[in-house]
Structure 1
Amino acid sequence: MSTVNLSWSADGVIDSYNIYRSASPMNVASLPTPLATGITTKSYSDNSMNMGSNYYYRVGSIKASVEKVSSEIRVNLHTISSLAPLLFASAEKGAIFDFNNLSTMFQDIAGTIPVTAVGQDVRKVQDLSGNGNHLVAVNSGTAPKLAYDSIKKVYYIYFDGSTSMMYVPSLNFAGVTKFSLFASITRELTTAQVICELSSNYNNNPGSFIFNYDAGNAVAFATRGSGSYPTGYNSATITSSVGGTFSVITDIALSSNKIKNFRLNGVDKTINSKLDNSIVAISSYPLYVGGRGDGTLKTKARYYSLVVLARLASTSEIQQLEEVQFRDYGG
């Protein structure tokens, strides 16, 4: 169970308050039975919450037997894991990894030895999309390790910038032109590093993409079409000194602004540089995480979550994912 702490203000003297809660938006004309009545303070703690859902609250202020009901608030208690079946409800292509969910992690590539403690090698992370795009160590010697963030109170997997690297052996993105990428990551070096890359080197493989840190304070996303640089590329770059929760929404069939949104910690960021060029659908390649497929551009960073979805995420989906990522992993 989880706890939601509510507090509010009121004008004048109020006799008491009612608390209303629902799993869906409430109609003031037909409110559910109150969760609590006779509250005489301007706060309430709901200790009966289950992670994995949205909850809606209203407060009724009672004075002289007349009740006035507040506007509604939504509390997002989803996790990356609980959002997975909602995001992939129509069997969309892609993959979703929740590095705070130990039940999805294994010490061996075969997936028979669970990860149970900080410091253990993580050689397999299950894909929660239902597509079977599991993330595995490139070989037994390249596993990142499970770690724990004592401030944010969440687990993550740690890539050491030297040996650690994982991949999805074949991510089926054939024919995809619209897709969304979400990642929560904190880097420890300001060198050029690959966060994730579709294919061993997107420069050599039409129909691939890269999400990476440039040297310094830049984060970039790019797709490779046909032709040489720059006419064969679509790309966008924003400023980010360390990391956070990233959202990249891409439609490479558009004539311009192909990278529709590049967001950091829930805010659309100013794109510092941009290319809008050839239209080539994405293809199926391995998806490398933590470095380039040839072993270069290794990432020294904390990975909290990663989502690759073969469609444009809706505004509400972006909002929910970012709320979960920022709540659990921070900026």
Structure 2
Amino acid sequence: MKIASKSICVASLIALSLSPGGSRAKSCDDKPHNGKFADGSLVMTTRMNVNPDGTSASYTVGDHGYTYIANGVNLHLDGKKIACSIKENNLLCRKKWIEAEGADFLAGSPEFCVFALGVEPIFTGTTLEECEKKDAGGRYFVGNGKGRPKLGKSLPHSISGDIQTYVSTTALTHTIDGKIVSIDAATVPGLVVPKGKSSLLGSIAWVQYGDHSVFALATDSGPDFGEGSIALHEMLRYGALQSKNPMGPLSREQRCTEAESDLKAPYQSRPDYQNDECRKGHKPKGGTDIRAYGGIESGVTSIILPLKPEMDGRTVRGNLNTLSLKNIAVAAGYSEEMLRQMAACAAETQ
């Protein structure tokens, strides 16, 4: 992702929705009521799970990506929808997905409704079939000849070889070099908002954990608050984006090398076999995947501001990065100092 030039006129990107007078919390005389400040800012303290959607390595052929295929699809079996994200359905969904991959998603293969991966027709000139009509607008079938997941980049994994990715999508998009693309979870600090609060998509947020804070963007929707992108987790943990984005899978012969032992949160090793973690005197039984699942258990404060970049629907006009998000917020009057004061005021009410 290219870094936006500092010479960009920040004012041209701002679209404010503030209360009359643009009031700000400068002292604790302005405390939040039911999690909301007078200017409309929402404040909450939550855990922070990881949502890697939007980055190239999120989903891969063979289900070796930063998250499991089950988190981006629902299985449709014998006319019945099976929610793959529910734990008891994980293994069935994975088995059926691998089966569909092996059949190139042609007629007769298992059928899935996809909501976090790009989809394309199997045959030129055919159209995609929408699924789960209540969520119409981006959800389509793959498998059984109805479509297949769109292939993304081929990426090198941690030791040798390459792995084929699928295109991972986010509810919000932005433009890079004139093209509309999903927002990369590995480079843009992003927050997830509940599906019932989709009006918050595109809102700029300030997120704090311990001594570290960063400006982020509400880029995707999910079940609830308390999820953030890989980039957000790295900024909150280390104060900077990390240069290495490790990639699996690792074979049994490659286990317990530096590629696995040196993993830093939010990345984790998830062995193929239960209780097969690296430890003294233990010889691994199988391979492992590298997943982005190392969340923060508690203590993350998020202030979602009544402030958005300039947008066309759910597409942000222009490239996004940590600097451009900060510039927009500061130009609107939301400095780090002011936001820390707001967070302190919110803590007094808890």
TM-score, structure 1 normalization? 0.24
Q: Which has the higher helix share?
A: 2
Q: Which has the higher strand share?
A: 1
Structure showing greater Rg: 1
